[in-house]
Amino acid sequence: MSFSLVEHIRIWRIEHWLKNIFILFGHAVAVVLFFNLEITGSLIGAAVLSLIPACLIASANYILNEILDAPFDRLHPTKKLRGIPAGKVSVPILWLMMGGLVVTGFALAWWWFPNRGYTVALALLLLSGVVYNVKPVRLKDRAYLDVIAESFNNPIRLWLGWYALIPAGVAAPPPLSITLAWWFFGALLMTGKRYAEFRFIDDKELSGKYRKSFQTYSERSLIIAMITHANLFCFCTGVAMASYRELHNLVLVFPMIVLAVIAYFAHAMSDRGARLEPEKLLQNKWIIGCTLATALAAVWLLYAGKQGIFDVRDALRLMQPGW
């Protein structure tokens, strides 16, 4: 039987490399808190290069996921058409590809980034794929832990972005409050993904066979988990804004962050959201619009604070009685 190279490369899920855009958040945190918004050409170059090893390791994890999930994907309405369940690819070739991606990713990381924190974070990204997919741990099958484990990729991507820019010898990680906020934000997105997938399959028995954690989940429990993660994200974000002078102005974007979260909830819980596959859930125009508006406002407020154009603390003082 002959196999197509294109079908094998599809297993890499190159279209999902877009998720590594979350690494840019780590770059942003480093630029604001470590470099005081001083951006140089070398920083931009390092930021661009940092995406490449992460994408290669992400594809290695996707290959591992598809190989181990093939028996379960055969039970899914659309995933049964993927390369392995449909018999379009060779599993031994996929194992070779995975090994090549891992070796290349770590070789580039060691060559390009003098701060070995980047390489350690890259190893954590690979390890997260292993504990998520491989028995006997296989956190993917454990309700709630599956979301916590998968969303841990958010802090890992934060560390990748941070250590890609931080000079060699600096081992200090980004602030804990920001790391936790980014983790809970990822947990919110992943729980929304589970919720949409649960409703998309719309068959309790079939969904439980496809994903063991769905034997425990219900629509109600997933909604409660989404609300919990959203609250923890907002709490940790507020702590970070209050703790670091450079971030004080960002308190004004907090209402916009809340609107983006509301838009996500509304879309995930809508009838249309239930018909969408999880990866398409974030492609809603309102979610994208709120996110872009929040990012642009945050950039301007950070710049205004650095240049002394505007300081939210001065504005708040003027609002106090007797000032």
Q: Please report the DSSP string for 130-170 in residue order.
A: HHHHSTTT-GGGSTTHHHHHHHTHHHHHHHHHHHHHSPTT-
323 residues of the chain, pLDDT tens digit each:
556 788 888 899 898 888 888 899 999 999 999 999 999 999 999 999 999 999 999 999 999 999 988 877 777 667 777 778 877 888 899 999 999 999 999 999 999 999 999 999 999 999 999 999 888 888 888 888 899 998 999 999 999 999 999 999 888 999 999 999 999 999 998 898 888 878 877 777 777 777 788 888 888 999 999 999 999 999 999 999 999 999 999 999 988 888 888 888 877 777 665 555 555 656 667 777 878 888 899 999 999 988 888 888 877 776 666 55
Integer angstrom CA distances of residue 148 from 20, 183, 187: 18, 8, 6
CA distance 218 to 38: 48
Q: What is the structure's pLDDT at 185?
A: 92
Q: What share of the chain is helix, strand, coil (3-state, %, to 5)?
A: 75, 0, 25
User: Nearest to residue 131, comparing CAs of 222, 61, 59, 216?
Assistant: 61
Nearest to 189 by CA among 152, 217, 162: 152
Q: Which amino acid is located at 323 in the chain?
A: W
Burial class (CB in 10 A: 0-12, 13-18, 19+), 46: buried
Nearest Cα neighbor of 237 from 220, 255, 224 is: 255
**Whose structure tokens read 């002078």?**
245
Which residues are CB-neighbours of 64 under 8 A, at least 6 positions away? 98, 129, 130, 133, 134
Tokens encoding 262: 């509301």
Report the topology of domain 1-168.
Tetracycline Repressor; domain 2 (1.10.357)
Name the amino acid, one letter, at 117.
G
Output the pLDDT for position 32: 95
The H-or-E segment that residue 118 falls in is helix 117-133
The Cα 226–Cα 162 span in angstroms is 27
- Asked whether the beta carbons of 154 and 128 are under 8 A apart, the reply is no
Rg (the chain; Cα; Å) = 21
Instruction: Quote the CA–CA distance of 38 and 44 in Å, as a whole number.
Output: 11
| Geometric angle at alpha carbon 40, from 186 and 179, rounded to 5° | 20
